[in-house]
């Protein structure tokens, strides 16, 4: 009566976990799979009913069309198609420059928070955080007017400057946490060797802090690459249009073929996606550190 008989127990918990895991995996992947599949289909297959879940006549035509539009595509005359390669290059230049500029500015600031006790440091950190909360729409009008004044509309510089201000506060927050984990003894040793501050930073401190720098650079690159609203206001031609703007042009153009739009979408998502997968651990740690610390 007092002993509980040993019996086989259905592992309900395991079953629930696996079922949920599979459902979530499908939820996360299927929509993306659909545009990837479409991007390899001829238009006729993409609009077929029922849908072809696996392309029956796989083709690269949608991607090749960006470099060398076919007669049909040229006839439809979507400007977005010919602008796609330029916009990818623009996005790359803008995002990389943003990441670099951010890193330089944020390294100085973050170092001060990790190594120096100074008056108002908490307030300054909060102020940085508050600027991150400011909605882009609140500054876009004056920013547009300002850039027009300086004849910077439709240039890389306008975009790089605006994205740097978006990404700078979060970059500082990420870096200050990473920098604190760098042992002070390293710098002390360098100082004993009579290295100046810049020498110490360059050859001792920064190499050790490299993982944090990479994470911060990836964050700001992705911020710049994905941004849309400022690019919509500030750019108008292939000279500076970024890929989100061109991708949106596909969506608002009634002549657009879904397959070509899908191909542009896939190209636009590839760089941030690859970065996210390669730097997964660091990004996850950075995202968590930016908002919770347990």
Partner 1 sequence: MPRKPWSDNVRAYALNAPAIIVISLLVAYPIGYSFWVSLHRDNLKQPLAKRFIGLDNYLSLFHDDAFLASLRVSALFVLVVLAFTVVLAMTLALVLNETFRGRGLLLSLALLPWAMPGVVNGLMWRTVFDAKTGALNGLLTQLGLVDGYQAWLTSGTGAFFFTAMAQVWNTLPFSVIILLAGLATIPSELYDAAKVDRAGVLRRFGQVTMPWLTHPLLIVLILETMNAFRAFDTIYVLTGGGPGSATTTIALLDVRTVLTYTDFGLGSAYAWVITLITLVVSIGYIALLYRRGNFEV
The correct pick among 121, 236, 237, 255 for binding partner 1 (CB under 8 A) is: 121
The correct pick among 209, 216, 234, 283 for binding partner 1 (CB under 8 A) is: 283
Q: Is residue 95 within the footprint of partner 1 (CB under 8 A)? A: no
Q: Give SS3 for 59.
A: coil
What residues numbered 257-276 form the site for partner 1, per CB under 8 A?
A: 258, 261-262, 265, 268-269, 272-273, 275-276
User: In terms of CB distance, is 71 or 293 closer to partner 1?
Assistant: 293
Evaluated on CA atoms 199, 202, 207, 213, the torsion sign reads positive
The structure tokens listed for 166 are 């978006």
Query: Distance between CA atoms of 102 and 214, rounded to whole angstroms?
Result: 12
Instruction: Map residues 135-154 to x or -, x wherever contact with partner 1 holds by CB under 8 A.
Output: xxxxxxxxx-xx--------
Candidate segments 59-67, 75-83, 205-213, 254-262, binder of partner 1 by CB under 8 A: 254-262
Burial class (CB in 10 A: 0-12, 13-18, 19+), 172: buried
Q: How far is the CB of 72 from partner 1 (least distance, A)?
A: 19
Q: Is residue 32 within the footprint of partner 1 (CB under 8 A)? A: yes
What residues numbered 1-30 form the site for partner 1, per CB under 8 A?
A: 13-14, 17-18, 20-21, 24-25, 27-30
Q: How far is the CB of 67 from partner 1 (least distance, A)?
A: 20
Instruction: Map residues 192-211 to x or -, x wherever contact with partner 1 holds by CB under 8 A.
Output: --------------------
Specify the DSSP element, H or E, that contains 57. Answer: none
User: In terms of CB distance, is 54 or 71 closer to partner 1?
Assistant: 54
**Contacts for 279 with CB less than 8 Å, ≥ 6 apart:** 214, 215, 218
Q: Give SS3 for 256.
A: coil
Residue 229: Cβ within 10 Å count: 14
Nearest partner of 161 among 234, 91, 237, 98, judged by Cα: 98
The correct pick among 165, 195, 206, 208 for binding partner 1 (CB under 8 A) is: 165
Query: Distance between CA atoms of 91 and 225, rounded to whole angstroms?
Result: 6
User: In terms of CB distance, is 125 or 195 closer to partner 1?
Assistant: 125
Evaluated on CA atoms 48, 53, 55, 56, the torsion sign reads negative
Q: How far is the CB of 268 from partner 1 (least distance, A)?
A: 5
What residues numbered 99-118 form the site for partner 1, per CB under 8 A?
A: 104-106, 108-109, 111-113, 116-118
Q: Is residue 70 within the footprint of partner 1 (CB under 8 A)? A: no
H/E/C letters for each residue in 107-165?
A: HHHHHHHHHCCCCCHHHHHHHHHHHHHCCHHHHHHHHHHHHHHCCCCCCHHHHHHHHHH
Specify the DSSP element, H or E, that contains 235. Answer: none
What residues numbered 219-248 form the site for partner 1, per CB under 8 A?
A: 222, 225-226, 228-229, 232-233, 243-245, 247-248
The correct pick among 6, 10, 50, 254 for binding partner 1 (CB under 8 A) is: 50
User: In terms of CB distance, is 161 or 190 closer to partner 1?
Assistant: 161
């Amino acid at each position: 009566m007092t002993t509980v008989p040993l019996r086989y127990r259905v592992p309900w918990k395991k079953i629930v976990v696996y079922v949920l895991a599979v459902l979530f995996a499908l939820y996360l992947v299927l929509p993306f799979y659909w545009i990837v599949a479409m991007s390899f289909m001829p238009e006729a297959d993409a609009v077929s009913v029922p849908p072809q879940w696996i392309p029956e006549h796989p083709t690269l035509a949608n991607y090749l069309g960006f470099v060398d539009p076919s007669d049909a595509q040229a006839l439809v005359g979507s400007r977005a198609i010919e602008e796609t390669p330029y916009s990818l290059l623009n996005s790359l230049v803008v995002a990389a420059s943003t990441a670099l500029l951010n890193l330089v500015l944020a390294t100085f600031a973050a170092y001060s928070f990790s190594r120096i006790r100074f008056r108002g440091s908490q307030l300054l950190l909060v102020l940085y955080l508050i600027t991150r909360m400011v909605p882009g729409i609140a500054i876009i009008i004056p920013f547009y007017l300002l850039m027009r004044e300086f004849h910077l509309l439709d240039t890389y510089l306008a975009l790089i400057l605006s994205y740097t201000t978006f990404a700078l506060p979060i970059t500082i927050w990420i870096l200050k946490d990473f920098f604190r984990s760098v042992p002070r003894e390293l710098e002390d040793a360098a100082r004993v060797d009579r290295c100046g501050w810049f020498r110490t930073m360059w050859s001792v401190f920064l190499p050790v802090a490299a993982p944090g720098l990479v994470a911060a650079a990836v964050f700001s690159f992705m911020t710049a690459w994905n941004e849309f609203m400022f690019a919509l206001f500030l750019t108008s031609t292939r000279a500076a249009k970024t890929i989100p703007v061109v991708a949106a042009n596909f969506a608002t153009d009634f002549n657009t073929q879904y397959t070509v739009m899908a191909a542009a979408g896939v190209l636009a998502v590839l760089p941030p996606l690859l970065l996210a997968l390669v730097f997964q651990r660091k990004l996850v740690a950075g995202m968590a550190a930016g908002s919770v610390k347990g």
